[in-house]
Amino acid sequence: MSGTHPEEQALIDGMLARDDEAFRQAIIHYQGSMLYLARSLVGEKLADEVVQEAWFSVLQAIDRFEGRAALKTWILRIVANEAKSRLRRENRMTSLESLLATDEGLESRFDDRGHWNQPLTDWHEDSPEGLLSGAQLESCLQMAIAALPDMQAATLTLKEHQGYSPADICNILELSESNVRVLLHRARTRLYQTIEHFQNTGECCT
């Protein structure tokens, strides 16, 4: 673990020693990201339970942590696995094949260079009406993200909200880099579709 940041290494050492303060600090550092990822996969109602199960797994597996990835990345991979296990148990796991299948209706919105065929129009938020529309659009986008298939939502969350690299996302979700690219493309396309519909109609379509 020679590449591990000293502060992270101290936290790992404390967790390995079963130090309560180290685990408390780990919760402070990682709980928010764990919940955000869990919500993207299993939804709001089950996220807390999945994260709790993930913490139990972290406690049981910390002795086997090898430092091949950052501690946070390793923990989020455990969250993702717990969430996927829950989805499989409840028969709610979306097959990867269906997520990677081409959606001709959405693909036709892009040109050969991958650019949006009908770019979104600019709108200004320098009026009360504009500010209201901005708040409504933000709420609409949150609903659209929640409505995405599980792995699309998780991939988008890790990339756009938490800033993970494609390589880290592959590690966390146990996907190939090409699959991550496709899932991100599908998720972003759905969000562009939502924005386009909102701008044209003022209504939220998820």
Characterise 195 by phi-psi region: left (phi > 0), alpha (psi -120 to 50), beta (else). Answer: alpha
Answer positive or negative: Cα dihedral of 15, 42, 140, 190.
positive
Token output for 169? 């996302």
Q: Which residues pair with 116 in a beta bridge?
A: 110
Please identify, in words, the CATH class of the domain defined by 96-201: mainly alpha
For residues 14 and 21, the answer to whether their CB atoms sit within 8 Å is yes
Query: Of 72, 73, 69, 76, whose CA–CA distance to 36 is shortest?
Result: 76
For residues 144 and 194, the answer to whether their CB atoms sit within 8 Å is yes
Q: Would you give the DSSP letter of residue 106? A: H
Query: Three-state DSSP class for 115?
Result: coil
Token output for 19? 């130090």
Where exactly are the structural domains of the chain? 6-89, 96-201
Query: Quick one: pLDDT at residue 54?
Result: 98
Burial degree of 175 (CB within 10 A; 0-12, 13-18, 19+): buried
Mean pLDDT of the chain: 84
Query: How many other C-beta atoms lie within 10 A of the C-beta of residue 89?
Result: 9
CATH number listed for the domain at residues 6-89: 1.10.1740.10
Query: Quick one: pLDDT at residue 117?
Result: 59
Q: Give the pLDDT confidence of 119-159 residue by residue, as tens digits.
A: 555 544 544 344 446 778 888 888 898 899 999 999 999 99
Q: Which residue numbers in the chain have pLDDT < 50?
A: 2, 123-124, 126-132
